Structure 1
Amino acid sequence: MIKLFSTLKKYIKIYFVFIKNSLMAQMEFRTNFIISICTECAFLFAKLLYVIVIFHAGTKINGFSPYAMLMFIGSYTVITGVMDAIYFPNLSKISDYVRNGDLDMMIIKPISTQFLVTMRYIDFGLAVPNLIAGIAMVVISWVKIAVTFNIINIIGFVAFTIIGIIISYPILLFPFLLSFWVVKIQAISDITWALWDFNNAPMTIYGKWLQRIGIFIIPIFVITNFAPMFVMNILSKGLIFWAITAPIIFFILVNKFWNYAIKNYSSASS
């Protein structure tokens, strides 16, 4: 147990070094940083057109009012901000590492190669617009739909948001590990990000079988749906248990797949 905490402390320190280095690098080229924010704001505006359509329609969608829909969209936007900042800048580079042989130097480092490859870079410019807009949407919708503002709901919403961020990691990493066998994974990457956008609405608008697949097989709906469902008191105890269990299961699976991929890695530089 002492060794576990010592290792955890070590990796937390290393991650803060990653954060510091990424921030320093982005501040050296502030124009690029500002352009990154502006570009993400443009993408965010395009997403918000969906919100405008919902409010102009003014009708309930599968029992959800426009403001209830806004909470789901806000939750999606917040976690998208985290995904854009932490996961996207790292996972999108995996195929290049494998193809160019850059992975060779990472494997010999005295830390987990998986940690180094998938957590090294943080893009703050991509995160800022989504986090601000997402939090604003959640707060506005929370007030408008008169959800009880108490400590249980606040802790629950934050906890399920954190669970969504955690389980995003293995779900997004799985397809990118195919880079070890497939040289070009652009199509796989496009499908992955398309699946991500399934979260931009309550999962109940989809059919029952698609819901089951999106909860238990490829738990994409766990990412952004469960936090709003919890505060709206429509999340069952079974799904709460699954939300706690799923990240553990999928982290174990993705770690085993990573180790298998590394064993089959052939240096491109050799």
Structure 2
Amino acid sequence: MLKAWLSTLKSYFIIYLRFIKNCFIAQMEYRTNFVLGIAVEIAYLFSKLLYVIVVYKTDLHIGDITPDGILMFVGTYTIMTGLYAGLFFTNFVRIPDYVRTGELDLLLVKPISLQFMVSLRYIDLGMPIPNLAAGITMVAIGWNALGIPVTFYNLCVFALYLAAALMITYGLMIIPALLSFWFVNTGGLAGIFYAIWDANNMPMPIYSRLIQRIGVYVLPFLVITNFAPMTVMGQLDKGLMLWGAAAPILLLAAVRLVWNKAIKNYSSASG
């Protein structure tokens, strides 16, 4: 059983590497667009850095979090923005079109998981570059300024919560696309989720207790950029640490259930 599961996992990993290769070849055919995409993302990044400038100029403190700590949060948000844009965004915006045009009919006959195919097929290799570079730099600067020990434990915990954040990002941001199986236009809902995503730009203590509870336990968007820095800063209790590990698993399981129901509800464009 385990051997078969590992073999399937290996097959999907090889397929995903092929997706990356194909996307790289396609993007390199239009190198000017590739470079311009990076340039546009750098421009957006500078607008995000205005937050950091204001934080340091005003010596902003959010509870016990100093400007250096806030820099770690903004850096984590920037890293996750790059990962979301590169791995998921292009795929999620295509799903409603697959449903509306009937292109999903062609994908249904592929001998691999349909959810895997439609949600992970396209990878943007340019947009994440400036965000990842800037985000990692901000986290490193904040980490060093706060005097957080660079230990194997701290690095592993930070990386694990980033991995959990990536799974939560997938689970939350695919919701508007899944609802397109029932509703013709989910653009308004997608806009709400993008606004929720932007709420991660600053530490969660700036929000009321009610919003924090909703953002941690109901729609766990606050877990995405808060739990990794809060853990290494010693500001996350054991209960929340356990929830940070459990939330992505529960969310992905719920998304899988909704996906299966959505496919059963799907009727092809040909009727």
Q: Distance in 1 between matches of 2:60 and 2:47?
A: 21
1:99 equivalent in structure 2: 100
The answer as to whether partners of 1:100 and 1:269 remain within 8 angstroms in 2 is no
Structure 2 letter corresponding to 1:2: K
1:117 partnered with 2:115: no
Q: Distance in 2 between matches of 1:269 and 1:118?
A: 23
1:236 partnered with 2:245: no
Q: Secondary structure at the match of 1:62?
A: coil
1:133 equivalent in structure 2: 134
1:224 equivalent in structure 2: 225
Q: Secondary structure at the match of 2:126?
A: helix
Report how many aligned residue pairs link the two structures.
Answer: 270
The answer as to whether partners of 2:82 and 2:128 remain within 8 angstroms in 1 is yes
Q: Distance in 2 between matches of 1:125 and 1:259?
A: 32
2:268 equivalent in structure 1: 267
1:10 partnered with 2:11: yes
State the Cα distance separating 1:198 from its structure 2 match: 1.2
Structure 1 letter corresponding to 2:221: I
Q: Distance in 2 between matches of 1:123 and 1:64?
A: 34
Q: Distance in 1 between matches of 2:53 and 2:60?
A: 12
1:161 equivalent in structure 2: 162
Q: Distance in 2 between matches of 1:43 and 1:234?
A: 30
Q: Spell out, residue by residue over 1:10-30, the C-alpha distance to the aligned partner (whole angstroms, 9 max, x if none).
A: 100100000100111101110
Question: How high is the sequence identity, in percent, across the aligned residues?
Answer: 48
1:70 equivalent in structure 2: 71
The answer as to whether partners of 2:148 and 2:233 remain within 8 angstroms in 1 is yes
The answer as to whether partners of 1:101 and 1:268 remain within 8 angstroms in 2 is yes
Gaps of 5+ in 2: none
Gaps of 5+ in 1: none
TM-score relative to the length of structure 1: 0.98
Q: Distance in 2 between matches of 1:219 and 1:82?
A: 17
State the Cα distance separating 1:61 from its structure 2 match: 2.2
Structure 1 letter corresponding to 2:262: A
Structure 1 letter corresponding to 2:119: T
Q: Distance in 1 between matches of 2:22 and 2:118?
A: 15
1:24 equivalent in structure 2: 25
1:108 equivalent in structure 2: 109
Structure 1 letter corresponding to 2:72: M
Q: Spell out, residue by residue over 1:96-132, the C-alpha distance to the aligned partner (whole angstroms, 9 max, x if none).
A: 1111111010111000000000000000111101000
The structure 1 segments of at least 4 consecutive aligned residues displaced by more than 3 Å after TM superposition are: none
Structure 1 letter corresponding to 2:255: V
TM-score relative to the length of structure 2: 0.97
